[in-house]
Structure 1
Amino acid sequence: MEEARVGRRLAAIVAADVAGYSRLMSFDEVGTAHTLREHRAVIDALVAKRGGRIVKATGDGVLLEFPSVVDAVECAAAMQVVMVQRNNGIPEARRMLFRIGINLGDILIEGDDILGDGVNVAARLEGIAEPGGICISASVYDQVRGKVTVEFIDRGEQRLKNINRLVRVYATKSIGNFGTVAPDMPPPHPQIHESLPLPDKPSIAVLPFQNMSGDPEQEYFACGIVEDIITALSRIRWLFVIAHNSSFTYSGHAVDVKQAGRELGVRYVLEGSVRKGGNRIRITGQLIDGLTGVHLWAERYDRDLGDIFAVQDEIAASVAAVIEPALAAAEQERVLRKPPERLDAWEAYQRGLWHLHKYRPQENKAALAFFSQAIALDPNFAPGHYGYALALQWDIWHFSSRPFLEVQETAREEAQIAVSLDDKDAVAHAVLAHMLMWGSEWEAAIAEARTAIALNPNSAFVISMLGCVLGFGGYREEALERLQQAMRASPHDPLIWLWLIWRGLLQFFSRDFIAALQTLRQVARLRPGYAVTSQYLAASLAYLGRSDEARETLERIPPQSADQLQRWQQRPPWMRPEDYALLVEGFGLAAGERR
């Protein structure tokens, strides 16, 4: 029988991996893995934009194929530009730097994989590249010379591992040798030219996602994803969102993100791509500061297409949920650079949030001052009022020895003012729900929280508040699901420790003491010295019959934190009597009292 013909083609092969990845993992396994996933989402988008293909990703490495050598080199340079941006502000020892090797050669085709000498040379070039640099072969250099802005130096003929010939190598050591190359330098948009002023609140445009499937029939799916994301983002009251009719004027054009931001008059731009293969879909998204070009967030979503419309809804909700805290963090960083006397109401509110999330007594006082400043600058600005309500509640709950009800009415009034000023603001309703719960009005609180979730079902803060009031109102099963949903939607949220406290307490009240123990130990690591956590830990251990550990837990409470526990000698108004009785009994057992 005639032997089957081996498939071959000429291609530009790019091999990349992370320099010192094992060392980074030894510092922080979870954080390093998460950072790498974010970087890869950015890389996916850059590769798609340059017409390349991700052959495979293994560990910290990735193998790419391009039909154009120029596109391969420009993509590699753009990757290194982005990495410099994303490493900005990170200690040098923790920075994630890629080494990249590029070769032009004949390759063997085996399914979706590529093999052969051409691939091996690219891998060996990557191995000798400097961290943050690129090495290319002479075959690549001959094709791109004079066509790219990247500057390469001749490192002469070198012997590469397991390559039985000398290979002439050209290299660039760092980003400084990349000339004027940038991640996105397309020709200008042909129709829109004028720059628009930024609105007086954070603003975003969602550009059309690129359909990378090679199937025109999938164009509707990419458009549907973008429309759903725009709709979801429009629910965020503090965010100005460009309507899809304007965003879609960029469809079919190569887009310079900074130029699109100027033309649409927005600070932030979300772009992405959609790729379908068989019954799988891959969607990438990246959030970019349109003024600076800095990448703020990136993610990749891989899903089975059992129900294409359900997948579309799920991904749109996920993107909106994670973008909200990412935008809020970016705004707070921006506002921190302005003198306090030059802040407007929105900026004073953002400064207040930044201090609130620091969770220290003096920081909370600063938060109260900035929220008061926001109210003084604009009494009709709803976030100033509900921000003040939250900080006042924290002052009572976390940092003061005053009775719970002493200023509770003031916090509730501020939340009610916020809702009256803007009854479409989901966060205002969520904060009011929390205040109602503090007054033992559990059913009214749940109704208010459900109003909030109807207004913005993708806000992690709103979801968490619904979980809180449901749980303390006695609806534990749904409450725990909602808290888990909030933590999944915003896994790096500054309030995640608080959501964990609520989860631990609800597990305790459900008499699931083993689960409560696991959750509360997480809280203790995040917020050491918080006496209330130790109290519930000790009670959980006592109910599990681990008396010695329970006593030791109480003995480790610092004397300065013991005052916190004195406030629990009477039932807090937000806790149901039967839940409080369970805590008192468990605390007594931990302290050595008999039943």
Structure 2
Amino acid sequence: MTDVFVSYARSNYDAARRVADVLCDDGYSVWIDDDLPAHRAFSTVIEEHLTEAKAVLVLWSADAKRSRWVPAEADLAYNADKLVQMSLDGELPPLPFNRVHCEMAKGWNGENEPPCWPKIVASLDELVGSKNAEAKPRNEPAPRPAASKEPLLAVLPFDNLSSDEELAFFCDGVSEEIQRSVSEASRLKVVARTSSFQFRGAQKETGKVASALGATHLLDGSVRRGGSRVRISAELVECSTQRVLWGDRFDGDLDDVFELQDSIASEVAHALKVALLPSRTEQSLPAELYEKFLRARGRITAGDALFDDSAERAFPLLLEVTEAAPDYAPAWELLASSGAASLRSGHFEGDYEERRAIVEDAAAKALALDHNRGEAYLAQALLEPWGAYREREKLLTKAITVSPNDPSALTEMSHFYWTVGRFKEALEMALKASELNPLMPAARLHVAQMHTYVGNYETSMQMHRELHRRWPDNAGIMISLMGFSASLGFWDLHDETLQDVDRFEGWTARDLRATIAFAEAARTKDPELVERRVERYVGLLDKIGSVPLNLIQSLADLKGGEFALDVALKSDYSFVFHPQGARPGGYYPGVLLGPWSEVAKLPRFAELCAQLGLADYWIATGKWPDTAGWVPYDFKREMRSARDAQKAQPA
């Protein structure tokens, strides 16, 4: 049980952090929302800790009084008779909390204890009683168990003990291959590289890593390479006890590195008593080719193939490897997945059809050599037109079947479910992906967004708030936070975040300014502001022939569902059935299928769904969107009618 729960407004984070640190140094166990896990609903976790805490310390300020969450947390503490209050700026608590004494700490900057601090401590002592003697300082978080008893393994980047610092890429590559071997050769759930490789050197302290990743076990080690000789040392640690379950050293020639990796993977799986699947039979690579393969993988993992040229820089190396070793499935798979991402990024400048043929051939060869290559299925799904729903679902299902714990496969499937309106399934997949990649901002953000689509607005907004606090310079989080808070009417959060807009530049600043302009028009309903936004959005019909679906939703917020749907039905969305080109910006039908959508409430919305190919997908598969359960008309009947009418039209 936690001694003290600290409640505060985001703008007072520095003071709250100082309060938590001082209390921990004094021997209290403290919960502050830095400890929110990736894989659980924020509101649920907060309520649990509020309920179990012996005392709740509320840090009042003008922003805290305006906050949606601080008064709610104070109310629970007030009703449980465990409320302690301190004002950071002289603001008195709102009703009914002004009935409880509040200590004033105006002007405190968090560096020195305010004069009222002894009174605060005395109140906490009275509520807490004996302090938790085992409480640890905040900079050494105690390991927390994973959400279930199922093992969750984090493979850390092995240390480079070679004299050549340039071989760091080799050590990372070996570590990643061991990670993949463990994941593929067993039923283990393994934390994604994106998250686990953030811990290096002195940052590898077991408690810190376990707390951040939610891992039950850590695999760490070192690589020493001299010429053609390589030594890999590894140890498996149980996080809860920090006990070493297994450790060993493997020596061999560089040509034997595959056997060394497989040996480590088998030993780890055996140590955790996990049943091994049939091992893959792969051709091993000569040392020089293996080094090229690792360099290519390093270039890709260091970037983002959907947003930069990382895949292009790796492409020549992968072509060399596949040409020299045509039976090595991992190289074909990596060539296919990175090539598909590059084609869909919008940055590819070469011959599209020529490159597409190479990617299709690479995916086919990877699967011919090993039908369990999940990333090859993902590459094939990525090459399908965005409107080819059934084909994409089949390929994504194959990827999930062979790689059930691959965050990329889980994320892509979640995006697909979102696109076709199956929001509960989208959230389920997003939660699984986030559990395996808890330090990936995009994974955490997607969970927050999917909570919105299933109607968990409070949870979603709380998550957005905390994610922005944790990654204040992340453009995607900021744009999503500002957009959703305006669309759903969370104006306190919107206003609270406005002060952070100036930290962004370039395209992010432009997008944020546009979002703020929309928010102001939607909030005030000022005719001039509304008309200015409407003209800008509708003007896209003349410029590009269509209005993106996210802006159709914005038009509904500004002018109503009927007007927005009129504009959508004038738009040409046939490009979603074209196999060539980048992911179409703003094209996610899910934005119009959410529970707040005024467009989806109109029976003639079925005409748009037929145009987008959604009606045909739903009817053919029988997999209807969540929307069918809440609209005020017979959703399925209207979809069938619209689909039949579309088919009756002359070609």
Establish whether TM, by shorter chain, passes 0.5: no
- The TM-score bracket by the shorter chain reads 0.3 to 0.5
Q: TM-score, normalised by structure 1?
A: 0.38
Greater relative CO, 1 or 2 (CA 8 Å, sep 6+): 2
- TM-score normalised to structure 2 length: 0.35
